[in-house]
Amino acid sequence: MSALDTVFVPIHRAGWPFIAAFAVVTAVLAIVWHPLGWVGLIATAWCIYFFRDPSRMVPERAGLIVSPADGRVSMITSAAPPPELGMGPAPMLRISIFLNVFNVHVNRVPAGGLVTAAVYHPGQFLNASLDKASDLNERMAVRLKLPDGREMAFVQIAGLVARRIVWTIAEGQMVQTGARYGLIRFGSRMDIYLPPEIMPLVVVGQTAIGGETVLADLASAEPARTGRPI
């Protein structure tokens, strides 16, 4: 990867209609009153920045579960997976990653395997940082069968500002670790439900990078990590 690749980042195709709309509005504002054109230009630049889709170096060793999104690890707790996935009521360890409006919002598959369910669930648009957002907010949930037969789940959750979940994943599809599969517009959250007895390798407050940060290792017996700010 060259230095230019870190500056000129590709734009996700779902963003081009928004960028075009921002540009048109900017042109109109500039005609109406020149200073408003500068405001529109700043807004258009932010829209381009929001829909950036940078390349990532995805770790390839079998058994690694990587972060599906950029953002802050906001919660690690036990919770039942979304009922629409049919995984039962037994709690699973859930890692929640909160995405603010400045994070990359392209979502990636956390582990390779077979998609056994992919279900969209309409709902509310509460603040995605709240625990109840997992149950009440609009979401797109995926159940994944791993190569060793174990199962996990990952869920896109709309937030207070986000009003649209985009996905390109379907039941019966084989997926690869780190592959792009969707996007949530303008602030949101990702929940990852780990297989039983698998401990997280991240801590609350840590910044995760989608497709790169290792959340868990199916082959590791390491206890749950701890950390502190310094």
Active site residues: 188
Q: Which of 116, 106, 85, 81 is nearest to 96 (CA)?
A: 81
Containing 214, the helix (H) or strand (E) segment is strand 214-217
Contact 105, 188 (CB under 8 A): yes
CA-closest candidate to residue 214, choices 3, 77, 73: 73
Concatenating the DSSP letter of every residue in 97-160 gives EEE-TTS--EEE-SS-EEEEEEEEE--B---TTSTTHHHHB-EEEEEEE-TTS-EEEEEEEE-S
Estimate to the nearest angstrom the gap between the alpha carbon of 61 and the chain centroid: 21
The arrangement of strands across the sheet holding 165-167 comes to 106-108, 180-184, 165-167
- Give 182's DSSP letter: E
Q: How far apart are CA 197 and CA 19, in angstroms?
A: 44
Count CA within 13 A, CB hemisphere, residue 221.
0
User: Are the C-beta atoms of residues 73 and 103 closer than 8 Å to each other?
Assistant: no
